[in-house]
Amino acid sequence: MRRVFAAMTLAALCLSLTGCGGQSWLPEGRELENMALIRTLGVDKAEEGVMVTAASAEQSGGEQPALVYSHTAGTVSAACLAMQSLGSAYLFYGHVGQLLSGEELAAAGLEEALGYLERDIEMRLDTEFYVVRGGKASDAIAALSESGTSASERLESMAEDAGLMAASMPRTVRELLSDTARCGATFAPALTLTGEEGDYDLAADGYALLKDSALIGFADGDAALGVNLLLGRVEADVVECPAEGGTAALRVVGAQTKISPAFENGALTGLTVKCAVDASVAQGPEGLDLEHSPEKQRALENALAERERERIVAALTLFQTLDADCLDLCRKAGMSAPWRWAALQDQWGEAFSTLPIRVEVTASIRRGYDVK
């Protein structure tokens, strides 16, 4: 009897899955050639709601430019649905790898745009997020398509080479949402549209700083480099330091940072940031012989340490000025003193913007290659 019941149940399940005898549990099947696989979404502020721009990758193996669609609606979801009527192909959003926001929308707030990726059944939380600095996401996406490439191809290339860019790193929607839920602030890579008509490109341009899911500023130059140092995300950064006889180019290949809180009578009184930087000599003046001159090596290491310290200070000063713990420094400080975690959490919000921070950086030159 149990076998008969199991067989009947299995048959009913198969019928439901194939659409026979009732409503299907699966999405409607579609032929791949009738679908446009959207790879990049752009969201901009509009007079009433948002303007969403969707772009595919290059078509026919790169022989045809990316397809680009745009629509304005009250919500991202409504705009994406309305774009289904703009062409003959079905727009599939399950392959979206990048979400771009225009600066104006980011400043107004990103809750709705990020929430769409969090809730929509086709979207993925590992989608990378970018802010188009000083412009619109729609312009950036359309300009690259007109130049014969696609935003997805360019951004994928940038993400692969992120280790070579000491002031940029990819960030996912999942990371942004997690940071915001945990400490109220986060950061994302910023982009700038460069070039001219017919030859546009996207360039990394520091970091966009977000608080309560809204843009509050940008980390440029030294501050952006300091972000990577604080997170230990430095794989290849060349720092030029004065050396006897000229200038030495030191390639920073690693950094480890530890943050420790200081308490006095139960009150949070400061932070200590210690960063250990590893580097090698990529180029130096003639006669620079570190192997037989420890004094020259120490001088170079001290010069490098001071330069990297300036970058970390620039990042921390910016965060404190904006009163935004964009790197979740509270949690990192708590990891070094877990017995202080409760007190740290209670006092962090009010204390952070004026908290004294001591930054200590040490540098080690591990290799000199053939520089002698």
CA nearest neighbour of 323 among 221, 209, 168, 174: 209
* pTM (predicted TM-score): 0.86
Partners of 260 in the beta sheet?
272
At residue 8, does pLDDT exceed 50?
no
Alpha-carbon span 304 to 250, nearest angstrom: 8
Alpha helices in the chain (DSSP H): 2-18, 76-82, 103-108, 111-119, 137-146, 151-160, 173-183, 221-231, 294-322, 329-336, 341-351
DSSP state of 333: H
Contacts of 291 (CB under 8 A, 6+ apart): 368, 372
Alpha-carbon span 345 to 283, nearest angstrom: 46
Write out the two tokens for 121.
């059944």
Q: What percent of the chain has pLDDT over 90?
A: 60
Question: Distances in Å between the alpha carbon of 309 and those of 63, 109, 150, 182, 321?
Answer: 48, 33, 38, 27, 18
Alpha-carbon span 82 to 84, nearest angstrom: 5
- Higher-pLDDT residue of 33 and 82 is 82
250-285 confidence digits (pLDDT tens): 999 999 999 999 999 999 999 999 999 999 988 887
Distance of alpha carbon 127 from the chain centroid = 10
Partners of 90 in the beta sheet?
35
Angle at 139 between CA 138 and CA 145, to 5 degrees: 90
280-327 confidence digits (pLDDT tens): 988 887 767 677 678 888 889 999 999 999 999 999 999 999 999 999
Question: Buried (b) or exposed (e) across 45-69, using 16+ Cβ within 10 A?
Answer: bbeeebbbbbbbbbeeeeeebbbbb
At residue 101, does pLDDT exceed 90?
yes
At residue 54, does pLDDT exceed 70?
yes
